[in-house]
Amino acid sequence: MTQKPKVAFFDFSSCEGCQIELTNFGDADFLELLNHIDIVEFREAMSEKTDDIDIACIEGSFTRESEKDRLIAIRNRAKIVIAYGACAHTAGINALKNHTTDFKKAVYGQDADQPHLNSNDKALPISHVIKVDYFAPGCPMSKYEFLNIVSHLLHGKEPVIPTYPVCVECKRNETICRYDVGDHCMGQVAMAGCGAPCPSQGIPCEACRGFCEQANLTALENTLINKAGFSASRAKDKLRMFTNALLPDTSNP
């Protein structure tokens, strides 16, 4: 690209934690990236708007009807769309409500009927509404992976994101498997690319990056029951944390 590509950031239903991950200025890598791109919209940082965008980076899930038009408008202005963070990629923890009906009451109690709290029954990945070209998964997403994706795009190259499970990276780190210390883990079905930081810190993988290719969810339930001593219902519910919107019983809008 001769001119610096125009990059814009948008946020939908999310905690905006992934933006914070990015706006971690003072980080030499991010400042270096700014030498190669023009940021034209960034809710957290600026206000001017432009009509054509080379790369639109979208954070957050689709959970209100009104968000549909906004997403479509962004898609129409953007050459490339990157969904960044679990909320945009898998609907993340917003989808925890997807298999329930009393979520408003549970969260807001007697204020549950206030109109501004209205949202769809299901939170969904933005890919349900618009075509997404690249995903930077994770809760929060890894800024290094994000930079790696943008860096590849600037070269006109396809970014390489692994499709295999977290276990591959966990073993390369020679981390003691959670199952070998009487714990549980979901790294066997989670998509790698994060470098398996959670098991290496002694906590289970919660599959915040969504599922790997051909994720064997039945086998995971069996393993959680047989090896980690979970009850059948807890084993089933375990998968809802970051991937509820991807499960067969909750994925249809």
Partner 1 sequence: MNHHYITLKDFNLFLTKLVNQKIVYGPVARKNKFVFDLISSPEQLRLDYDVTILPPKKIFFPPKQHLLHFDGESYKDCLDPKEQIIMGVHNYDIKAIDQLDFLFKEKNPDDHYLLNRRKTTIIGSNIQTIAARSFWGSAGAGVEPKGHDGFLTKLKDGFVFETRTKKAENLVKFAKFIKAKKTQVEQAAQINTAVKKKCPAKLAYSSAEIAIKTRLAFKNNELWERLSKDCFSCGSCNTTCATCYCFDVQDSWNLDQKSGFRTRYWDSCMTVEFAKTSLGGGAVHNFRALRRERFRHRVMRKLVYLNDKLGGPACVGCGRCATACTADIADPVNIVKEIMEA
Per-residue mark of binding to ligand SF4, 154-173 (x: CB under 6 A): ------------xx--xx--
- The tokens describing 245, both together, are 């919107």
Specify the residue, 215 or 239, whose C-beta has the smaller distance to partner 1: 215
CA dist 119 and 142 (Å) reads 28
6 interacts with ligand SF4 by CB under 6 A: no
Specify the residue, 10 or 135, whose C-beta has the smaller distance to ligand SF4: 135
Buried/exposed 164-181: b ≥16 CB within 10 Å, e otherwise: ebbbebbeeeebeebbee
Q: Considering only residues 62 through 81, tell me which ones interact with ligand SF4, judged by CB under 6 A.
A: none
243 interacts with ligand SF4 by CB under 6 A: no
**Of these partners, ligand SF4, partner 1, none, which one is at the site of residue 164 (CB under 5 to 8 Å by kind)?**
partner 1
CA dist 112 and 8 (Å) reads 34
Binds ligand SF4 by CB under 6 A, chosen from 33, 82, 141, 194: 194
33 interacts with partner 1 by CB under 8 A: yes
Q: Is residue 173 a contact partner of residue 243, using CB atoms and an 8 Å limit?
A: no
Sign of CA pseudo-dihedral 210, 215, 217, 223? negative
| Among candidate residues 229, 169, 227, 219, the one with its CA nearest the CA of residue 199 | 169
160 interacts with partner 1 by CB under 8 A: yes
Chain residue at closest Cβ approach to ligand SF4: 187
Specify the residue, 60 or 138, whose C-beta has the smaller distance to ligand SF4: 138
Bridge pairing between strands 78-84 and 134-136: parallel
CA dist 81 and 76 (Å) reads 10
Q: Is residue 18 a contact partner of residue 84, using CB atoms and an 8 Å limit?
A: yes
Specify the residue, 194 or 245, whose C-beta has the smaller distance to ligand SF4: 194
Chain contacts with ligand SF4 (rule: CB under 6 A):
138, 166-167, 170-171, 175, 177-179, 185, 187-188, 190, 194, 196-199, 205-209
